[in-house]
Amino acid sequence: MASAGRGFLYNEKVHQLLKGFIVVSANTQDQSVPDHAEFRELLKKIGVTDAKGSLGDVLGSQGAGNVYFILLDPQGEIVHYWGLTSIDELAKGVAKLKAPPPPVEESQAKLTLPDLCASSDPGVPSGLRLFFRARGEAGWNANAMTIVQPVPMKADEWKALSYSDRPREIDAEFFRACVTEIFPGAIRAASSPRAPGFASKLPGTLKLEPAGSDEKFRYALLHGPVQLFYTRSLGNKAEPSEPKFSGTLQAVVKYGLTTPEVHSLRGMIDGNYLYMPGPNGTFKMTAAVESRPE
């Protein structure tokens, strides 16, 4: 199978369907290849191209994107091809190969969520754990996969949220490592805030306000806007900083009755992740945040 475009092959169901096949991936947006000549030449060799070297006319309405798949049999003959990302189309292609279904292995392993070990300082959590997903409304933007991501933190970092009986402001920078992890699954690695050359910052402040107590704990509300900026260095130049994520945070922080250290934190972050300019370039993101372990 030859594929081009954003990461479709991350899906475990796809991995199962592709067992026993050779997979070739090519990025047609690579500007180092003038007019994508090498990729088009590859398609021409296997017969999926027209005289102009364009996939659009061949794939028709399926070619409304920058992802194309060509499934070959063991003799190198084309069995099926399609545009965009579709497990259903892949299943159709596998059926045309008349290949035996992949074996189903029963695992005795217990599935567990990614988590953090106990903190070296037993008085505070080890970090935060995120549950987040994109809430797209149309097209490839509609990716509802939930991602679980632990974010370790140092014990000293929690001092920023120490209890106060008066409202106060804290630097939003406390949540930078957390917000940096909130981006849609399966986007191009080069567009991720984790990519080499990115420097991020989370300016502004959040409000921390006491919110009563019960027989075991005291509580505080933490809320405010969060806006992640990052700059990517390209050679000797640096792209201008732009907000990649803009949203709001609301959380409840729990403390002991007599100690100022954070016992636990739970909250929500809701906002938009800017992937690229255009109507389908913004992802609506929702994240649940909890301190771990509790």
Model pLDDT for residues 145-169, shown as the tens digit of each residue:
788 999 999 989 999 999 999 999 9
More confident residue, 137 or 263: 263
Length of the chain measured in residues: 294
> Has residue 104 been placed in a domain?
no
More confident residue, 106 or 261: 261
Can you say how many angstroms the Cα of residue 134 is from the centroid of all Cα atoms in its chain? 8
Q: Which residue has the tokens 């994508």?
A: 36
> Has residue 242 been placed in a domain?
yes
pLDDT digits 0-9 by tens, 183-215 = 887 665 555 556 666 677 889 999 999 999 999
Question: What pLDDT is attached to residue 120?
Answer: 77
Are 92 and 167 in the same domain?
Answer: no
> How does strand 262-274 pair with strand 237-238?
unpaired
> Last residue of some domain: 97, 116, 144?
97
pLDDT digits 0-9 by tens, 59-88 = 444 444 455 677 777 776 777 777 655 677
Are 201 and 63 in the same domain?
Answer: no
CATH number at residue 81: 3.40.30
pLDDT tops 90 at residue 226: yes
Are 64 and 135 in the same domain?
Answer: no
Q: What is the count of structural domains for the chain? A: 2
Are 140 and 279 in the same domain?
Answer: yes
Question: What pLDDT is attached to residue 233?
Answer: 59
Question: What pLDDT is attached to residue 32?
Answer: 47
> Last residue of some domain: 97, 119, 150?
97
Give the residue among 243, 264, 242, 245 at the shortest CA–CA distance from 253. 264
The residue range of the domain holding 63 is: 2-97
Are 64 and 139 in the same domain?
Answer: no
Print burial letters for 49-88: b (CB count within 10 Å at least 16), e (below 16): beeeeebeebbeebbeeebbbbbbeeeeeebbbbbbbeee
Residues in Cβ contact with 90 at an 8 Å cutoff, skipping those fewer than 6 apart: 14, 17, 18, 69, 71
Are 276 and 172 in the same domain?
Answer: yes
> Has residue 118 been placed in a domain?
no
> Last residue of some domain: 97, 117, 139?
97
Question: What pLDDT is attached to residue 7?
Answer: 47
- Percent of the chain at pLDDT exceeding 90: 34
